[in-house]
Amino acid sequence: MKSIRSTLPPRLVAASFGLASAGMGAAACNMLLDNGEARFEGGDAGGRDGGGQGSYCRQQQPAPALCYDFDDSRPLDAGFTFRAADRSVVQIDSKNSISAPMALLVELPEGLSEEATAYLARTIEGPLPTETRVSFDILLEAASPAGDVEKPVAKVLDILARSPATGPRRSLGVTIGPELAAIQERIPGGNDGSVAEYPSIAFPDGAVKPGTWSHIELHLQWRQQTYRAFVGHVKVIDSPMAAAWPSTDTGVELRLGISYRPKKKTNFTWRFRYDNVVWNVTP
């Protein structure tokens, strides 16, 4: 087993990265038409690879900026910056995957502080691109019990832009919980470090279900200031950004894992699995 299991306080570990070939995953949900509207039924997304260890990324053309199917010999800390709280888990294992044999497991156990996180990060430096596309397969294995009146979600993927000098980040990410999946945009509000958090835009009911693999894509058109979200290659959100992202930003960062949890919701475990993560950038 290839793994990174946190046993130290929260930290950042910098690492270099070698690019690999990649592509987009196939659907993990079946779209059905119901009175002219899209609704979703969870489907078995397994068996898409079948070509041997690491074959998902090797099969894809042209090569994007990043592909990780977690099936080759690269350790996680050779590809990403790593941040994980004490007792959290960020590791590769073979218990459940889309492209066999391995997938990424990310877990935040109960009892950790509100600030606890467990994620991997990768940055591409330079001017904001024309477009950024991220696709990934994800499985929610554990979270708060269904029926929680607050419908808590965890941020499971985040795309961030950095401003020069000061480094405040604008972010747009995917949040998932037992009863809700959505897009959340957050932008620093001023020099005092405050953050403007805009209302989430929810996916259609049933688009992402606990216990079922889902294929999600997020497309950001930086110059048009718009974004689109897809589940199983079906567009579920097409929206302008809540506020302008200045062209002076100098880098784009991808965070994969649990980078945010609800406040005062630390009495249960969050557990997700990831597979076939692809990051495409158009200059």
Mean pLDDT (whole number) for 16-32:
28
**Helix, coil or strand: residue 281:** strand
**Phi, psi (degrees; rounded to nearest 5) at 230:** -130, 145
Amino acid identity of residue 66, one-letter, is L
pLDDT band at residue 172, thresholds of 50, 70 and 90? very high
Does the pLDDT at position 49 exceed 80? Answer: no
Domains identified in the chain and CATH numbers: 22-282 (2.60.120.200)
**Higher pLDDT pick, 53 / 88:** 88
pLDDT at 72: 81
**Helix, coil or strand: residue 214:** strand
Does the pLDDT at position 13 exceed 90? Answer: no
**57-116: per-residue pLDDT in tens?**
888 888 888 899 999 877 777 778 888 888 899 999 899 999 989 999 999 988 888 788
Q: Looking at 27-31, 73-77, 191-195, 250-254, which range is the least confident one?
A: 27-31
Does the pLDDT at position 35 exceed 60? Answer: no
pLDDT band at residue 244, thresholds of 50, 70 and 90? confident
Does the pLDDT at position 183 exceed 90? Answer: yes
**260-274: per-residue pLDDT in tens?**
876 666 678 899 999
